[in-house]
Structure 1
């Protein structure tokens, strides 16, 4: 993922609501959201190049979402896939299932949100590995640190907050907020920034990236109520930015 807004235990109906966009090379192969054959309790899309995922839920009571973390140079192709962290955590199997910080150095820079039971944690591995328990509240996270949200992260967080206040019966409506293509340039010195040089200033980029080579591949909404009833919705996009399909799955958590 490249942007996420996350509401944790801050609504009378919803235990958590998470929304986000996956930005990636359009040529990188992926399978859409589905219940996996193995393990069958895992619901996620799948990166068919590396085998992992970018966002998923498990009916054993887990959720995981990863974003890239900018500012630490070009990714090292020799590092393990960050999607393996999610696959192991969500499945509860393999050497990465416990998400030990000592293993984080083996991966390119990331932010990782995990939920298990009544604990939500944000992990990062730069500048050093750290894991912090999240208090109840609403958060925005993109390719910068949680403590210094990018403008588009704050914009998406505000959209989620407004939805919880005014429209919280319809999680599918949150897909509209994920299609916002407004660039968030600062007003001071705005003449410095243009759509043409936006790649130089990713922190000011839109929530939805429309680009024929690298852009928003899918938008995802997850909503789980306090009784453990959940829904996950994924809308997929072509390189043109046109929607190509949508999947919605129901699941339950063991409360």
Structure 2
């Protein structure tokens, strides 16, 4: 299952975002690109156009990430793609609060048409001491209104004194969510927040040394963040068992999910299993032979509004061989209008 980690605790970066996308390896996906002049994201090609996405950012600083909610039993495939929520937010011009209010009303009307999700969205705008508020919207609480949380807006300046004060302050500005409710995090989220806080603390100490220039410091930070996204906590006994049921039950424990065989036929074999989508959902998606972490993403937004977007593709087809890697793409751009905000 996927994981999203975010922090506003680094004094050189208004936001640091980390994401693992865990998915069946046969699900058709494009790598991140500017498919629209203003919108950067990968695209989920499993459904008919318009294609949704799980993560994206615009040149104006709109950012959104969606994570599926892990249902009991088979995951529900709704009439409407959850990835379209990200696309819609990125394409809109409303404030986060106005868009969230409208989305909550619409999702309540379409409750039976959309699978469980948590949507993190907001505008990357400095507010004097941090970022404007981001929303976390879920449709698996008692009501969408009650299930909406707001983060970032109350974060204080990143002025630190003393190691314990630093660590506590970093943790308070570091957030995480996976495929459960935001306020009921899985163990992998707790572990991820702690590890990200340690990386930020170590980065602060490293930045005080003179042996690395700014570019080298950023690259070292990116590498440490990708290392975090590659931490596998699934026990050797469970991995060795090859039991898909045991492996799927372990997904809440591990930040990284090594690709494993699901017990279903691969794309080159006879399809052994289908999800049960609604007939009007527009597609019939075969669950593939392998499942695991497919894509790792790191987004750095500097305090001057410069974006560094790093996407690492680990798998692009339904097998688990070393030749099944597309590599890494990097995009850099300046958020338009950043200097217009306090």
> Which category describes the TM-score, using the shorter chain as reference length?
0.7 to 0.9
CA–CA distance in structure 2, aligned partners of residues 44 and 142 of structure 1: 20
| Structure 1, gaps ≥5 residues long | none
SS in 2 for 1:183: coil
Give 2:202's aligned residue. 166
Where is the helix percentage greater, Structure 1 or Structure 2? 2
Question: 66-75 vs 145-154, which deviates more?
Answer: 66-75
- Shift in Å, 1:75: 3.3
In structure 2, the CA distance between the partners of 1:223 and 1:28, relative to structure 1 (3 Å rule), is same
- Are the aligned partners of 1:216 and 1:241 in contact in 2 as well (CA < 8 Å)? no
- Residues 36-115 of structure 1 mapped to structure 2, 5 A cutoff: 36=35, 38=36, 40-50=37-47, 51-92=51-92, 98-99=99-100, 100-104=103-107, 105=111, 106-115=113-122
Give 1:16's aligned residue. 15
User: 1:213-240 deviations in whole A, cap 9, x for unaligned?
Assistant: 1111110001101211111100001242
Give 1:131's aligned residue. 148
Where is the strand percentage greater, Structure 1 or Structure 2? 1
| Structure 2, gaps ≥5 residues long | 126-131, 156-172, 205-216, 262-289
- Structure showing greater Rg: 2
Normalised to the residue count of structure 1, the TM-score between the two structures is 0.86
User: 1:156-190 deviations in whole A, cap 9, x for unaligned?
Assistant: 222221221113633421111111112289xxxx9
Give 1:249's aligned residue. 331
- Shift in Å, 1:93: 7.1
CA–CA distance in structure 2, aligned partners of residues 241 and 82 of structure 1: 30
CA–CA distance in structure 1, aligned partners of residues 63 and 87 of structure 2: 10
Question: 151-160 vs 233-242, which deviates more?
Answer: 233-242
Give 1:177's aligned residue. 228
CA–CA distance in structure 1, aligned partners of residues 14 and 230 of structure 2: 24
- Are the aligned partners of 1:156 and 1:207 in contact in 2 as well (CA < 8 Å)? no
- Residues 227-246 of structure 1 mapped to structure 2, 5 A cutoff: 227-238=304-315, 239-240=319-320, 242=322, 243-246=325-328
CA–CA distance in structure 2, aligned partners of residues 233 and 203 of structure 1: 24
Match of 1:203 among 226, 245, 252: 252
Question: 109-118 vs 228-237, which deviates more?
Answer: 109-118
CA–CA distance in structure 1, aligned partners of residues 11 and 55 of structure 2: 24
- Shift in Å, 1:251: 1.7
Aligned length: 244
Normalised to the residue count of structure 2, the TM-score between the two structures is 0.65
CA–CA distance in structure 2, aligned partners of residues 200 and 98 of structure 1: 35
